[in-house]
Amino acid sequence: MSLDFLLHPTSYLGGVSGNLSAYLCFSAILFVFGLIAALSRRSTIGIFMGIELILNAAALNFVVFQVMKKDLAAQNWLHGHMFSLFIIILAAIEAAVALAIILRAFGSKGTINSDRISELKG
Amino acid sequence: MSGLDLFVLAMFALGIAGAFFTAFHPNILYASISLIATLGAVAGLYAGLGADFLAATQLIIYVGGILIVILFAVMMSENIYKKRFAAEAKKYILPSIVSIGLLALLFKLLFSADWGELSEISQSQDGVTLQMGQALSRPYALPFQYVAIVLLFGLIGAVVIARPHIGKKRK
């Protein structure tokens, strides 16, 4: 169904703000770029930024499904928004702990390159 | 094409460009700045979807938090302006192939799924801040308190991890 906006973009551009698949494609692309960053960056800050991208893609999907689901909108339930809000809060906690670990690793190793922080490697 | 469509398209473009440079820019400083662009684009999409409270939250928490990340990146990267993408380029090959395969799989799923009634937007474009406050005070009160406790202990843990160890032998 609705992915044919990729095949005939000009005829579908008019409805892009209401098109579920456009949002899902966007967050899939965001997720994949985050995955690439998390897998291939050697700086731990870069890995952390990739994880942030992945979390953002997931949170966006929750809101999109919430908005597109008619009976949820009719009942004034906001499960999708709540999920996204909790994802944002947990990402903030994760950022605090991750930066503390990075700071500690930099203090003891003098580098944040994940290739050279390898004491836990088996 | 309405103004909202143009806005959403612009946010898509900004977000994808920012995510690309976040993944591939050799300089971690510019990668963090691209990440700010992407997070701002996602906040714009929240606003376009009528989730005004989430848009504001995203801007305040994420974009503010990423500024701290930039500070860390500048403090801790050695030779931040040195070009060394050529030496690291081959580390991108395998993850990129795997991830593009995953992207193809996701797109195939999106194409083949029958979304039924979900295919069209069904919202009023009004804000939902009032409803979110009501939801947080009644059906979501317990998860809200729970996440507050998690936040408290996460921050205590971060402080414990980050400070210099007391009582360790000094030279």
The confidence score (pLDDT) of residue A74 equals: 61
pLDDT tens digits, B7-57: 888 999 999 999 999 998 888 888 888 999 999 999 999 988 888 889 999
The confidence score (pLDDT) of residue A1 equals: 44
pLDDT at B129 over 80: yes
The confidence score (pLDDT) of residue A105 equals: 84
Identify the residue whose tokens are 């503390």: A100
Helix axes B93-112, A20-40, angle to 10 degrees: 160
| A48 or B63, higher pLDDT | A48
**Which of A93, A94, A101, A108 to mutate to test binding with chain B, by most B CBs within 10 Å of its CB?**
A93
Q: Which long-range contacts (CB under 8 A, 24 or more apart) does B122-125 make?
A: B122/A67, B122/A68, B122/A69, B122/A70, B122/A73, B123/A67, B123/A68, B123/A73, B123/B49, B123/B50, B124/B50, B125/B4, B125/B50
Contact flag B132-A23 (C-beta cutoff 8 Å): no
pLDDT band at B171 (very low <50, low <70, confident <90, very high): very low
The confidence score (pLDDT) of residue A85 equals: 92
Q: Which residue of B has its CA nearest to A77?
A: B135
**Which of A26, A64, A84, A114 to mutate to test binding with chain B, by most B CBs within 10 Å of its CB?**
A26
Short-list B65, B124, A68, CA closest to B57: B65
Nearest Cα of chain B lies from the Cα of A43 at a distance, in angstroms, of: 8
The pTM is what?
0.85
pLDDT band at B138 (very low <50, low <70, confident <90, very high): confident
Query: With contact defined as beta carbons under 8 Å apart, do B88 and B82 qualify?
Result: no
| A38 or A1, higher pLDDT | A38
A72 touches chain B (CB under 8 A): no
Nearest Cα of chain B lies from the Cα of A61 at a distance, in angstroms, of: 10
Say how many CB pairs under 8 Å bridge A and B.
240
* Count of beta carbons in the 10 Å neighbourhood of residue A37: 29
The interface pTM score, or ipTM, of the predicted complex is 0.85
Contact flag A92-B65 (C-beta cutoff 8 Å): yes
Contacts of A50 in chain B (CB under 8 A): 22-23
- The residue-averaged pLDDT of A4-32 equals 73
The confidence score (pLDDT) of residue A66 equals: 84
* Count of beta carbons in the 10 Å neighbourhood of residue A41: 25
Contacts of B62 in chain A (CB under 8 A): 52, 56, 88, 91
In chain B, the percentage of residues whose pLDDT exceeds 70 is 82
The confidence score (pLDDT) of residue A4 equals: 57
* Count of beta carbons in the 10 Å neighbourhood of residue B117: 10
Poorest-pLDDT segment among A26-35, A73-82, B63-72, B114-123? B114-123
A47 touches chain B (CB under 8 A): no
Which of A18, A32, A99 minimises the CB distance to B68?
Answer: A99
Secondary element (H or E) of residue A62: helix A44-68
- The residue-averaged pLDDT of B105-111 equals 87
pLDDT at B86 over 70: no
pLDDT band at A51 (very low <50, low <70, confident <90, very high): very high
**Residue B113's Cα: distance from chain center in Å?**
26
The residues that bridge with A19 in the sheet, in sequence order, are B120
DSSP assignment, residue A8? S
